[in-house]
Structure 1
Amino acid sequence: MENKEQRPLFLGFSSQKGGVGKSTLAEIVSSILYYEQGINLFVMDCDLSQDSFYKLREREKSIVQESEELSKSMQEYFHHLGKKAYRIYKSAPKEAVRTARSKIDGISNEKYQLVIFDFPGHAGTTELMELSLQMDYILSPIEADIQSLVSCLAYAKTITEIGVSMSDSRIKDIILFWNKVDRRVRNIIIDEYTKLIHEYELTLLPGYVYATHRFSHELSTYGLRGVFRSTYQPPARGLRMGTGLDELVNEIIQRLKLKTKTENGND
């Protein structure tokens, strides 16, 4: 029997449409939560068609191993941090929750607050629904494209309705947020669909995550100081200014009631 008081929360990053920035945001948010906020977590990469989360870690590992300077810098960074990089596991969607539970049970010296699931980008409807209902929360980025919005809102409504009706469902909420917003223009689609989302009584976070080329900056091309998308460290605070990322992370911490390192007395 699962101990509900001690079990970590399951947080899925999911979207019905590819290309909305789901995996990139999962990678960046995981690193901010773990390295900066002190929230102990591990990641399940369930997108076997791409393995973008897992492959990012493998690319970074290879780059660090090949560079003596980077290797030394990373050793100093983790020594100062006082812990290792968070773990990333691959799993098929149908086995993801079972695999996560086995990792939780198998690493007895770790107390996890959170398990982050990077959902498949192109999963079948049944597969996606089954995995969704096993999450505590789902974060679902949406962007100002009508075709994408129709699909994403249908998914959110279905999960909400099924989750409420099923007594054994784990899902508490699916949380939508606007991503890839162009700050240079007033977007009528965002205004109109924000009203519609509220009419549907779905959860929509305030604020936006803004479009910027920085989100794609990796260790291989931008080095330690310029890296934004990484499984080894969070993007520097200066690089995050104006992106909406810190506001997103703060909302996640508050809504999921996560205990940060300050609250844990470890700061």
Structure 2
Amino acid sequence: MEITTSTAPIFLGFASQKGGVGKSTLAEIISSILYYEKGINLLVVDCDMTQDSFYKLREREKATIADNPELVRQMRTYFKAQGRVAYRVLKSSPENAIATAEEHIKENPQEGIELVIFDFPGHAGTEELLELSQWMDYILSPIEADVQSMVSCLAYAKVVCDLGVSMQSSRIKDIMLLWNKVDRRVRNTIIEYYSNYIAEQGITLLSSRVYATHRFTHELAAYGVRNVFRSTYIAPAKALREGTGIDELVAELMKHIHLTPESHAHD
């Protein structure tokens, strides 16, 4: 399958073989920071058919704004200042995800899509997960300090690494593991042990860590524009991001996948 744009966008997948590790929430937050703050033209494809977390968040926000005249006013002001509209969130099955992205890019060249973010299935079978994985340029896979979940997460990362080496048709350049939901209050020997093990296996582990906090659940309906964290329309409030590790992660991710803000006219 060939990319149909003259300059192919980067395909970035958010994937994990274990549910509940914060894959979709990270995808939502990072997408909004990259688009609304870093000026990166992106498209999101939600192919997690069992949850549709990303797509459903957009739909909830649409309904919330439509029912609140003050939010309508605030959002109009926000997008006027942005000088752009909200990024697209498309829904697709895993097997049609690439075609869905390519069709949209081909039909909307004016959007200048530079990055496509795929929210992977949360409970996909191995074959289905690997089939989609091979079409990614990069995969970000959050992991938690839990021995049982680490086994499947590392097995998946290892197979993805092997795909990039063994299959000529595979686009995959790297899979990046990330410690997510880290508890600052606990000295976690599991993290230390597995960080060393991951390094020994030659798998990329980002140095950034995202720390556990209830702030990640702050949505537009309950917290309004100024205190929102998880949104497809607004980047998380900067004051709320302090100490979460999100900004450090975004900076490291952009560097790793070669998306530098200096290269974009929007900043």
Q: Contact 1:145 / 1:189 at 8 angstroms: preserved in 2?
A: yes
1:257 aligns with 2:258: yes
Aligned to 2:57: 56
Which segments of 5 or more consecutive residues in structure 2 lack a partner in the other structure?
none
Aligned to 1:142: 143
SS in 2 for 1:109: helix
AA aligned opposite 2:193: E
1:219 aligns with 2:220: yes
AA aligned opposite 2:146: D
Which segments of 5 or more consecutive residues in structure 1 lack a partner in the other structure?
none
Aligned to 1:10: 11
Alignment size in residue pairs: 266
1:37 aligns with 2:38: yes
Q: What is the CA RMSD across the aligned residues, in angstroms?
A: 1.2
Q: Cα distance, 1:49 vs. partner?
A: 1.0
Aligned to 2:91: 90
SS in 2 for 1:123: coil
SS in 2 for 1:225: coil
Q: Contact 2:40 / 2:264 at 8 angstroms: preserved in 1?
A: no
Q: Cα distance, 1:50 vs. partner?
A: 1.0
| 1:189-243 Cα shifts (integer Å, max 9, x gaps) | 0000001000110000013100000001111111111110000011111100000
Query: How far apart in 2 are the matches of 1:122 and 1:60?
Result: 25
Aligned to 1:110: 111
| 1:101-128 Cα shifts (integer Å, max 9, x gaps) | 1111010212111000000000111100
Query: How far apart in 1 are the matches of 2:232 and 2:46?
Result: 13
Moved over 4 A (4+): none
Q: Which moved more, 1:1-10 or 1:212-221?
A: 1-10
Query: How far apart in 2 are the matches of 1:243 and 1:78?
Result: 26
| 1:115-166 Cα shifts (integer Å, max 9, x gaps) | 0000000011110000001100000000000111111000000110122111
Q: Which moved more, 1:158-167 or 1:36-45?
A: 158-167
Q: Contact 2:5 / 2:106 at 8 angstroms: preserved in 1?
A: no
Judged with a 3 Å threshold, the aligned counterparts in structure 2 of structure 1 residues 211 and 173 are, in CA distance, closer, same or farther, namely: same
Q: Contact 1:39 / 1:259 at 8 angstroms: preserved in 2?
A: no
1:244 aligns with 2:251: no
TM-score w.r.t. length of structure 1: 0.97
Q: Contact 2:40 / 2:266 at 8 angstroms: preserved in 1?
A: no
TM-score w.r.t. length of structure 2: 0.97
Aligned to 2:165: 164
Judged with a 3 Å threshold, the aligned counterparts in structure 2 of structure 1 residues 4 and 60 are, in CA distance, closer, same or farther, namely: closer
Q: Which moved more, 1:155-164 or 1:36-45?
A: 155-164
Q: Contact 1:180 / 1:209 at 8 angstroms: preserved in 2?
A: yes
Q: Which moved more, 1:4-13 or 1:249-258?
A: 4-13
AA aligned opposite 1:266: H
